[in-house]
Amino acid sequence: MRNWAGTVTFQDSIAEYPEDLDSLKRTVSTSSRVRARGSAHCFNAIADTNSVSINLEKMPQEIQIDKESKTVRVPAGLKYGELATALHERGWAIHNMASLPHISVAGAVATGTHGSGVGNGNLATAVRSLELVLPDGTTKRISQGDEDFEGYVVGLGLTGVVVNLDLAIEPTFNISQTVYRGMSRETYAANIKEIMSLAYSVSYFTTWAAAGGGEVWAKFKSGSTAPTELFEAYPATSNRHPLPGLNPEPCTEQMGVSGPWHLRLPHFKMEFTPSAGDEIQSEFFVDIKDAPAAFAALEQIAPQINEILWVSEIRAIAADQLWMSPHFQRDSIGIHFTWKKVDAVYEMVKVVESVLAPFKYRPHLGKVFSASPQYLASVMPKMADFKKLINEIDLTNKFGNEFTDQLLGR
């Protein structure tokens, strides 16, 4: 089996698809090493194992809404697009979605995956409790307010196999999406906070080409009005795809047409293959205060980036308190690269990291990066506490793999 983009070949010796909690507990308790895997939208080996892999897609997939607490209990293997449809049909919503609705809820939470919006935390910030299967096959529920809760949530698959999650919900709402073309990187960098605050969710796309143009994708909550111009940028007159030259049919509705939140916040429709498909992804987060300087530094290597790039997407993510979140206690700008699938990417990633290192970048842990455990420990203040927590949970490193061992220096 391979990951979604075909860039990682998984080494499982056994693939298990439990259909109920008892069979899941039995698989975990009787395996010497085991790794849960979601939708395989990772771009590194975080979901790999040379032993037993577990996929929860055959477990019961029904959601349970608690109107009083405004939470929904979600099976770990459910995809965000499926969850969103079910919630909207019942009059509810979650606060945000990623660019792709195809990703599993537990996998996205475990890696700190995010959408955009200066006031929106990443997807894991909606978690109010988790039920996990521990190494001995017993279950544990940990809830917001419990000791070490913030260490369990973005758990990288190391704090247990997640069975279900309780997420905060709110009444359903509408979004309209307007794309502004012709936004130069210079103007964007000089006005980044103002532009990213324009709407409920905002993304900026650029290829780092010499011409320097880009597009702002602004998603306005119902009641907000899209401006007719944005600095030198102007509203598109037809639907757009984030990747230059591609057919926009897979993309969610634009042109200011209002519609349900779950059909606007992602860039791509659930029924289509998202993005380019044939790609490698990286993403690096810097403090929003440092974003203009980080952009200026990247301009120095823009021609090298452009040569092997499909597109970059720039997003804003609000700070949180989750230990292994790349947005821990830091309002962040995420600088994402959708690379062409060529070997030169892996060396280019190192160059990008060296340019962003003065800004204490943090990588997306489900995408391609090369940072050492020592560097990560220097920019992620709670890494030592996280290592202590997983050593207490999992003495034999049952849930670990080669990637997480290297990541944490175990």
275 pLDDT more than 70: no
Q: What is the average pLDDT score of the chain? A: 95
The model's pLDDT over 79-103, given as tens digits with 9 standing for 90+, comes to 999 999 999 999 999 999 988 888 9
Question: What is residue 270's predicted lDDT score, i.e. its pLDDT?
Answer: 82
- Which residues contact residue 16 at a Cβ distance below 8 angstroms, ignoring those fewer than 6 apart? 27, 52, 53, 54, 55
Tell me whether residue 2 is in a domain: no
Burial of 2 (C-beta count, 10 Å sphere; 0-12/13-18/19+): exposed
pLDDT band at 41 (very low <50, low <70, confident <90, very high): confident
215 with 258, same domain: the answer is: yes
Could you give phi then psi for residue 402, rounded to 5 degrees? -60, -40
Burial of 193 (C-beta count, 10 Å sphere; 0-12/13-18/19+): middle
Q: Let me know: does 198 contact 180? Beta carbons within 8 Å.
A: no
237 with 349, same domain: the answer is: yes
What pTM does this model have?
A: 0.96
Query: Helices 344-356 and 291-299 sit at what angle, rounded to 10 degrees?
Result: 130
218 with 357, same domain: the answer is: yes
The model's pLDDT over 370-386, given as tens digits with 9 standing for 90+, comes to 999 999 999 999 999 99
Give me the residue label for tokens 């929106």.
120
Could you give phi then psi for residue 323, rounded to 5 degrees? -50, -50
- Which residues contact residue 89 at a Cβ distance below 8 angstroms, ignoring those fewer than 6 apart? none
pLDDT band at 13 (very low <50, low <70, confident <90, very high): confident
State the Cα–Cα distance between residues 243 and 281, nearest whole angstrom.
13
226 with 303, same domain: the answer is: yes
133 pLDDT more than 80: yes
Measured at the alpha carbon of residue 34, what is the angle toward residues 29 and 36, in degrees to the nearest 5? 110
Beta strands in 234-278 (DSSP E): 234-235, 259-260
Can you give the residue range of the structural domain that contains 186? 175-372
Could you give phi then psi for residue 150, rounded to 5 degrees? -65, -20
Which residues pair with residue 170 across a beta bridge?
93
Tell me whether residue 254 is in a domain: yes
Question: What is residue 8's predicted lDDT score, i.e. its pLDDT?
Answer: 86
More confident residue, 191 or 223: 191
194 with 330, same domain: the answer is: yes
Both tokens of 87, joined, read 């919630």
396 pLDDT more than 80: yes
153 with 180, same domain: the answer is: no
333 with 300, same domain: the answer is: yes
Tell me whether residue 357 is in a domain: yes
CA atoms within 13 A on the CB side of 236: 22
Question: What is residue 60's predicted lDDT score, i.e. its pLDDT?
Answer: 93
Can you give the CATH number for the domain in which 241 is found?
3.30.70.2520
Sheet hosting strand 34-36, strand order edge to edge: 14-16, 52-54, 34-36
Question: What is residue 3's predicted lDDT score, i.e. its pLDDT?
Answer: 84
State the Cα–Cα distance between residues 279 and 123, nearest whole angstrom.
23
212 pLDDT more than 70: no
Question: What is residue 331's predicted lDDT score, i.e. its pLDDT?
Answer: 98
DSSP 123: G
Handedness of CA 220, 226, 230, 236 (dihedral sign): positive
Tell me whether residue 313 is in a domain: yes
Domain count, the chain: 3
Can you give the CATH number for the domain in which 155 is found?
3.30.465.10
DSSP 201: E
Which residues pair with residue 313 across a beta bridge?
205, 336
Q: Where are the alpha helices (DSSP H) in 191-290?
A: 192-196
State the Cα–Cα distance between residues 295 and 335, nearest whole angstrom.
9
Question: What is residue 277's predicted lDDT score, i.e. its pLDDT?
Answer: 66
Q: What is the gyration radius of the CA atoms in the chain, in angstroms?
A: 20
Tell me whether residue 396 is in a domain: no
Tell me whether residue 380 is in a domain: no
33 with 70, same domain: the answer is: no
pLDDT band at 324 (very low <50, low <70, confident <90, very high): very high
Amino acid, single-letter form, for residue 67:
K
Residue 234: other Cβ atoms inside 10 A: 14
Tell me whether residue 395 is in a domain: no
Both tokens of 188, joined, read 């964007």
Nearest residue to 352 (alpha-carbon basis) of 406, 308, 402: 308
Nearest residue to 109 (alpha-carbon basis) of 55, 151, 72, 154: 154
Q: In the chain, what percentage of residues exceed pLDDT 90?
A: 89
Question: What is residue 294's predicted lDDT score, i.e. its pLDDT?
Answer: 98
pLDDT band at 273 (very low <50, low <70, confident <90, very high): low
Characterize the bridge pairing of strands 234-235 and 174-181.
antiparallel
166 pLDDT more than 90: yes
Q: Spell out a b/e string for 66-103, using b for 16 or more CB atoms within 10 Å of the CB, else e.
A: eeeeebbbbbbbbbbbbbbbbbbeeebbbbbbbbbbbb
Tell me whether residue 123 is in a domain: yes
Question: What is residue 276's predicted lDDT score, i.e. its pLDDT?
Answer: 60
Question: What is residue 211's predicted lDDT score, i.e. its pLDDT?
Answer: 74
Segment 231-249 shows an average pLDDT of 93
246 with 325, same domain: the answer is: yes
